[in-house]
Structure 1
């Protein structure tokens, strides 16, 4: 039996797209990998983040803003439908600076971006004393911060759980342990897995994260993506210490403080390292000295999915019309857009968002 869509990849990106298509009455099968697959959705930092995105491509700033603006409604709908709440706190987020020079340079960058997107970039600059009123535990080495009011953070594992539950509730199939090895298109699409099972679909969305670099070229995509390791630390559950998240640390809804993340070009190595973890801890203590007394309970490494310019890729295959590549490293931030807005692009409706700047043509070799 053929479905309207087969989604290859059952992480946050794939499930968000599946959820949006099911809401529109489409039949969907999600084919997810096995426990040995690299899974960015289970190792990320959980930020719903606008700040600093799109410095060189204003459309990315706007796309992130669109998603952030509808995230709360998206989370509420998921929680109400499944009984699995998706905790979201969206009271703004910080970009901390340890020198006046870097702070001033970032302000200039933000003013340039703000002008390019029509002034919709709500941030304010907090000197150390103003920041200390907002964050009493901030350390003396932090000279100031940029507080961007569209930022926030969520619980990514609870998001993943709710998405999977609601996809199934709406009649979608989520089939795990499936390693796709071939996609062909005699008439409709035929998807073959390593265990010899096959699935049919009218359209295919390739959202397999790093797996897209193997499958993509055979489907007519460049898929120029690479892994980047991010290591993360998490502390014991603590009384309220951090009021708003930053790229250095956030206090999760369950009380622990998540510290991260590194940015390492180490191929497919997702191990943690002592230098990486020590560097994270030192920076976190510089921002919040009280963390020096906190007990660490776990750490992990995960691989980001990055394109050459760091932006998402949304592309229909010229070789296999009806096959789409959807990949990004901001799957949490963009989850609401992928769920609510991207289905219009996949279906080619009049409400389709303009995603042309995210096509693979930007990687063409001159």
Structure 2
């Protein structure tokens, strides 16, 4: 614990692991300070989508950032496989948001049009498709399906295997993973950061706060801010069944192991020790209305998880003016943006500064008012 590091990453979930892996591949001496697997982290409850659809309404830079991440995911999966031998199960042949009934179809079409019409919008290639085309691409959909949107950039992965691959890759790169070491205090003294943990102090030239919702407490210690608005979500998993779903949906996907995952609830309750049966029932009902044959499958498990969610839903990437070398990263889309975190954010941290366009788009200054959003977007 007396070793000094180039960078200490606080948080060992998908976000922190991706950044730490990226720093390790750049030759940096890195420590990951983590609460460990005793914590029910957000990474264990995610839906594992690599998703561009609907990202960025109100902040076009987020669309551009997400499109960039989707384009780099093949490279990330290949590098992890070559380094660790682990196939993260990336399937990226496009995804759907299905609508039930004409009213839903109309609302979805309006959202697609609004995204296309935003000033500074990036071409996210999302388009509306009628029910007949949906039926051709997704055999077995039910009669209530009225159509939906399709984006060829969308896909999904095996998120637990991705998490394992990042950690195996970190070990191979010499990154020190230090579990059961939650950070209780941060200070910058003598040109370095000192991080207090139950197992002793860790010192580093730079730090990255990637601790999810806990960033809200840690960031002010180094002159940063992380205004968060976490929500709870629930997931249902069915027994394995024969392959039937060639594309993921925003609320339903078949994993590479054959199970079906159903989810997308958003609740204000922040207790992840139980699920709400009423919400579970609504999710299951919608799933079987989309694919009627799902009604015959058994549910094998269900759980809830707390989302890491910045207050406005968009990522936060920032650096401290008062504590040079301190960075904060917060986002909901830990899977989708993993390639950007591994390749782009890690590169910027290694260089000692975030690029101005990134800060202009995603700094917490945007919470000061609409006039605080500077720049036309990060490309």
Band of TM-score, shorter chain: over 0.9
RMSD in angstroms over aligned alpha carbons?
1.8
Q: Which residue of 2 aligns with 1:359?
A: 363
> Quick one: structure 1 residues 288 and 334, their matched pair in 2 at CA, closer, same or farther if it must change by over 3 Å?
same
Q: Matched residues in 2 for 1:346 and 1:99: separation?
A: 47
- Offset of 1:105 from its aligned partner? 3.4
Contact 1:270 1:303 in 2 (8 A): no
Contact 1:344 1:350 in 2 (8 A): no
Q: Matched residues in 2 for 1:101 and 1:199: separation?
A: 56
Q: Matched residues in 1 for 2:120 and 2:40: separation?
A: 35
> Quick one: structure 1 residues 353 and 161, their matched pair in 2 at CA, closer, same or farther if it must change by over 3 Å?
farther
1:249 pairs with one of 244, 249, 252: 252
> Quick one: structure 1 residues 336 and 93, their matched pair in 2 at CA, closer, same or farther if it must change by over 3 Å?
same
Cα deviation 1:79-125 (Å, max 9, x = unaligned): 11101111100011101111333323333332342344566222332
Q: Which residue of 1 aligns with 2:196?
A: 192
User: TM-score by structure 2 length?
Assistant: 0.92
- Offset of 1:350 from its aligned partner? 9.6
Q: Give the SS at the match of 1:77.
A: helix
Q: Which runs of 5+ in 1 are unaligned?
A: none
> Quick one: structure 1 residues 205 and 314, their matched pair in 2 at CA, closer, same or farther if it must change by over 3 Å?
same
Q: Matched residues in 1 for 2:270 and 2:276: separation?
A: 14
Check if 1:32 corresponds to 2:34: yes
Contact 2:63 2:121 in 1 (8 A): no
Q: Give the SS at the match of 1:226.
A: coil
Aligned pair count? Answer: 365
> Quick one: structure 1 residues 247 and 326, their matched pair in 2 at CA, closer, same or farther if it must change by over 3 Å?
same
Q: Matched residues in 2 for 1:326 and 1:63: separation?
A: 14
Q: Which residue of 2 aligns with 1:219?
A: 222
Contact 1:345 1:353 in 2 (8 A): no
Q: Matched residues in 2 for 1:2 and 1:338: separation?
A: 23
Q: Which residue of 2 aligns with 1:316?
A: 319
Matches within 5 A, 1:6-155: 6-115=8-117, 116-117=119-120, 120-155=123-158
1:328 pairs with one of 328, 331, 356: 331
Contact 1:342 1:353 in 2 (8 A): no
2:172 pairs with one of 149, 169, 172: 169
- Offset of 1:365 from its aligned partner? 6.9
Cα deviation 1:112-153 (Å, max 9, x = unaligned): 423445662223322112111111111111100111111000
Q: Which residue of 1 aligns with 2:269?
A: 266
1:279 pairs with one of 277, 282, 285: 282
Contact 1:152 1:245 in 2 (8 A): yes
Q: Matched residues in 1 for 2:217 and 2:272: separation?
A: 17
Q: Which runs of 5+ in 2 are unaligned?
A: 371-379
